[in-house]
Chain A
Amino acid sequence: MTNEPQATSVLYKQTLIAGLWRENPVFRLLLGMCPTLAVTAAVKPALTMGLSVIFVLFCSNIVVSLMRNLLKPHLRILMFTLTISTFVTIADLFLKAFQPRMSEILGPYVPLIIVNCIIICRAEACASKNPLLTSIIDAIGMGIGFTLTLCVLAGIREILSTGAVWEIPILPAAFVPWTAMRMPVGAFLTLGLLLGLVNAITKRKA
């Protein structure tokens, strides 16, 4: 009985870390590909997107976890999407008011968070089965994992397409920008190669 609090804290820590690598939503579960590909032309919009997803994931996991005992099985997806779309509306209005430029760049991809599979997947796989605290920790871990992945992808694409990161030039002026990296092609190729790299690293470890 004495080591029970310790056991739960280890569980929490594992839940938190799982989202970063072992169950990374983009690299491992292949979830939420649309925003991953669409908003990663530069780091700034990618980070904005990541933070919005963390906010929505956090709030929706709390609500879903609180109402998990009231859910009827056949209506649960509908309830999830309604909860999520409410919070996405909040995030969208917030961005429009305080970050108008980012809101313009991200355009319809902010409301598209509603159908981001990560959020529905976490609501279904975690929040609707676990108590409040576990769901919150899971949301934070998954959200941070997603944001980091977006930033890595965006960093690679931005540096190759403009020679800058966070709009600060770091490559010498002689560098010829790869315009293709800013286009859809760059997104698909970079993500494909990164996934291959992640697979190779995992294979070597095992």
Chain B
Amino acid sequence: MDTLNILLTGFISIVIINNLVFTKFLGICPYLGVSGRIDMAFGMGMAVTFVVTLSGTLTWLIDHLILLGTPLEVTRYVCFILVIAGAVQLVEMYLRKFFPSLYESFGIFLPLITTNCAILGLCLFINLWGIDNLIEAVVLSFGAGIGFTMAICIMAGIRESLNLADVPECLKGAPITLITAGLLTLAFMGFAGMIR
């Protein structure tokens, strides 16, 4: 029961309180780039969730089974980025084979997941927080993906109605998106301190 409790708190904490987008500024590029339409945003979120869960788990395994305590620790970043690039390639091939229509609609964004900071960032944070339990690492990575999906979907919803708003000429596009993101962050700060 205790483990379940820890896992649940960890999950809620990474989805809402320590949301990667709002508090750690990770994954801002797709957050600003893909959040124009809500269906695209949701697809992107799902792809990121899958890749982040896979690579979070794999990097934890590699880190703990191979690298920790050996001189090879200096190659950690190289290994992490290799795992992520491999996972993205895997998703890309899988989608192209089994869901061609989804693959078409992702276009350029799929390979760009490799350079999504949220994924490498999460792997590094798992390492930094000293998570020493495989299940916890899996739950945290999955939660991070869900948190990202939630953030990008909220943003897409706001931007769809923002299209109808009367925005000053020089703030159109990225500036107003950033300001909206700032206000969203402010709202999410209300959750801070709920756990830990």
Give the interface of A toward B (CB within 8 A): 30-31, 33-34, 37-38, 77-78, 81-82, 85-86, 88-89, 92-93, 107-108, 111-112, 114-117, 120, 180, 183-189, 191-193, 195-197, 199-200, 203
- Known contacts A115-B116, A185-B183, then 20 further A-B pairs from the complex at CB < 8 Å, ordered by chain A residue: A30-B29, A30-B32, A34-B27, A77-B111, A85-B77, A89-B75, A107-B128, A111-B77, A115-B114, A115-B119, A184-B25, A187-B182, A188-B181, A188-B185, A192-B175, A192-B177, A195-B178, A196-B170, A196-B171, A200-B170
Interface residues of B in 145-196 (CB under 8 A from A): 168-172, 174-179, 181-183, 185-186, 189
In Å, the complex CA distance between A88 and B124 comes to: 14
Contact between A88 and B77, CB atoms less than 8 A apart: yes
> A82's closest neighbor in chain B, by CB?
B78
Rounded to whole angstroms, the CA-CA distance of A81 and B86 in the bound complex is 12
What is the minimal beta-carbon distance from B192 to any residue of chain A, in angstroms?
A: 9
Choose among B75, B124, B169, B186 the residue that contacts A111 (Cβ–Cβ < 8 A): B124
A187 to B182, CA, bound (A): 8
> B residues within 8 A CB of A31?
29
Give Cα A114 to B124, complex, Å: 12
Q: Is B96 an interface residue (CB 8 A)?
A: no
Size bracket, chain B contacts: 35 or more
Known contacts: A33-B32, A77-B85, A115-B117. The answer to whether A199 contacts B175 by CB under 8 A is yes
Q: Is B115 an interface residue (CB 8 A)?
A: yes
B38 to chain A, nearest CB (A): 21
**Cβ-neighbour of B74 out of A89, A107, A188 (below 8 A):** A89
A188:B115 contact, CB within 8 angstroms: no
Residue among A33, A188, A199 with the highest chain B CB neighbour number at 10 A = A188
Q: Provide 24 A-B residue pairs closer than 8 Å at the C-beta atoms, listed in order of the A residue.
A: A30-B174, A34-B25, A34-B26, A34-B29, A34-B121, A37-B28, A81-B85, A82-B78, A89-B77, A111-B124, A112-B121, A112-B124, A114-B120, A115-B120, A116-B117, A184-B22, A185-B189, A187-B182, A188-B185, A189-B178, A189-B179, A192-B176, A196-B170, A196-B171
Q: Which residues of A contact B181 (CB under 8 A)?
A: 188, 192
CB distance from B87 to the nearest CB of A (A): 13
B171 close to A199 (CB less than 8 A): yes
CB 8 Å contact bits of B23-37 with A (1 = contact, 0 = none): 111111100100000
State A199–B178 Cα separation when bound (angstroms).
14
Most buried by B among A37, A38, A108, A120: A108
Within 8 A of A (CB), among B81-122: 81-82, 85, 111, 114-117, 119-121
